[in-house]
Copies of this chain bind each other. A is one copy, B any other.
Amino acid sequence: MPELLTRRELNKAATHQAITDAALALLRGKGQGNFTVEDIAELAGISRRTFFNYFSSIEAALASVTHGFLDSALQQFRQRPADEPILESARTALMQLADPMTVAPLAELFTLTQDNALLSRSELEAWDHCTEQIISAARERFAGAPGAAVDELYLRALAGSVIACGKAAMDVWFAQCGADLSPASLAILRQLLIDAMGHLGSGFGSPTAAGTAPTAAPTTLLKERL
């Protein structure tokens, strides 16, 4: 969290926040596609033109919620020790996000958008953007390894799969718990993330092995420790 000192940065951050807040409020009240940029601008107390100085579309404004969420995930990942197994790092980073403050905005966004269609374009873009950043982070981590050249395919396949599993866990969670943010619900999310990463780590060996059942391999290696 870099301290923003100058007034300019403060104002900019405030406007940014005001826009996403307004967009979310309108999404809540009127539903997807039933409000315009002008509506957002008015509610946020800025001009239509200024909105476009911050975001190129309504979708982009809403996707900033997802960006925020994924950015903090990235942050968690980057500060894991470099000698830790990479799947373990990913798992831990994702787990840190299963707390109310962090998931709340994303959860609401999900419930408000997935009613109508699938994940909207900008949402997908946010996840994709995060994938690219994981690739960078993982590349840096492997840079100091014995083998000189990093296997680009390995990196991209791994990062993509991790994100896919994270997304899968979230999808299942929302389908199961809706916007429920209770401790019990968050515990389920954590377990889903653990299981998803377990499946990934065990090569998707059996559909039930890495689940809640007291089976051997994956659960022992990736058991939750709280």
Contacts from A to B (Cβ < 8 Å): 86-87, 118-119, 121-122, 124-125, 128-129, 131-132, 142, 147, 150-154, 156-161, 163-165, 167-169, 171-172, 175, 192, 195-196, 199-204, 207-208, 211
Number of this chain's copies in the assembly equals 2
Top 10 closest A-B pairs, CB basis?
Answer: A160-B164, A156-B168, A121-B121, A161-B161, A157-B168, A203-B203, A124-B124, A157-B165, A164-B164, A157-B196
Closest residue of B by beta carbon distance from A169: B153
Alpha-carbon distance A132/B124, docked complex (angstroms): 13
Are A153 and B172 in contact, with the CB atoms below 8 A? yes
- Given contact pairs A124-B124, A152-B172, A201-B203, A208 touches B147 in the complex (Cβ within 8 A): yes
Contact between B199 and A158, CB atoms less than 8 A apart: yes
Asked whether B203 lies within 8 Å of A147 as measured between CB atoms, the reply is: no
Residue in B122, B164, B207 whose beta carbon sits within 8 Å of that of A150 in the complex: B207
Q: Would A202 and B199 count as touching, CB distance under 8 A?
A: no
